[in-house]
Amino acid sequence: MHLCQKHIQTLTEILNKGNFPIPYDFTQEDVKLDAPRLYSDSFILQYIKNMAILGIAATGVATGLTTRSDVNEFFTECIASATELNNRAKNLLLSQGLYVRPPYIPNPDHVDFVEKQNFLTGFFGDRRPLNAVEITHLFNNTQTNIIGRALLIGFTQVAQSKEVREILMRGVEMAKKHVNIFSSVLIDENIPAAMTWDYGATDTTVPPFSDKLMMFHTTALIAAGIGNYGTAVAASPRRDLGSYYYRLFMEVAQYAEDCANLMIKNGWLEQPPLAPNYKALANRGQ
Q: Which long-range contacts (CB under 8 A, 24 or more apart) does 168-176 make?
A: 168/214, 168/218, 170/255, 170/258, 171/218, 171/222, 171/255, 174/251, 174/252, 174/255, 175/145, 175/146, 175/148, 175/149, 176/145, 176/149
| 27 inside domain | no
Give, rounded to a whole angstrom, the gap between the first and last alpha carbons of the chain: 52
Return the CATH number at 169: 1.20.1260.10
* Domain shared by 216 and 264, yes or no: yes
* pLDDT for the residue 198: 52
Ramachandran class of 58: left when φ > 0, alpha when ψ lies in -120 to 50, beta otherwise = alpha
* Domain shared by 136 and 95, yes or no: no
| 279 inside domain | no
* Domain shared by 53 and 92, yes or no: yes
Last residue of a domain, one of 99, 116, 146: 99
Q: What is the dihedral of CA 194, 148, 201, 171, to 10 degrees?
A: -120
Low-confidence ranges of the chain (pLDDT < 50): none
* pLDDT for the residue 277: 86
Task: Domain of residue 205: give its range.
Answer: 128-268
Q: How far apart, in whole angstroms, are the C-alpha atoms of residue 121 and residue 123?
A: 6
Per residue in 174-224, pLDDT (tens digit) is 999 999 999 999 998 888 876 665 568 999 999 999 999 999 999 999 999
| 109 inside domain | no
Contacts (Cβ under 8 Å, ≥6 apart) of 281: none
| 28 inside domain | no
Q: How far apart, in whole angstroms, are the C-alpha atoms of residue 89 and residue 247?
A: 33
* Domain shared by 151 and 261, yes or no: yes
| 106 inside domain | no
| 273 inside domain | no
* Domain shared by 260 and 132, yes or no: yes
* Domain shared by 77 and 140, yes or no: no
* pLDDT for the residue 45: 93
Last residue of a domain, one of 78, 99, 120: 99
* pLDDT for the residue 106: 82
Q: How far apart, in whole angstroms, are the C-alpha atoms of residue 284 and residue 140?
A: 51
Count structural domains, the chain: 2
* Domain shared by 198 and 245, yes or no: yes
* pLDDT for the residue 114: 67
* Domain shared by 152 and 194, yes or no: yes
* Domain shared by 93 and 137, yes or no: no
* pLDDT for the residue 103: 86
DSSP 199: G
Does this model's pTM top 0.85? My answer is: yes
Provide DSSP, 223-247.
HHHHHHHHHHHHH--SHHHHHHHHH
| 281 inside domain | no
* Domain shared by 169 and 234, yes or no: yes
* Domain shared by 68 and 141, yes or no: no
| 253 inside domain | yes
* Domain shared by 263 and 136, yes or no: yes
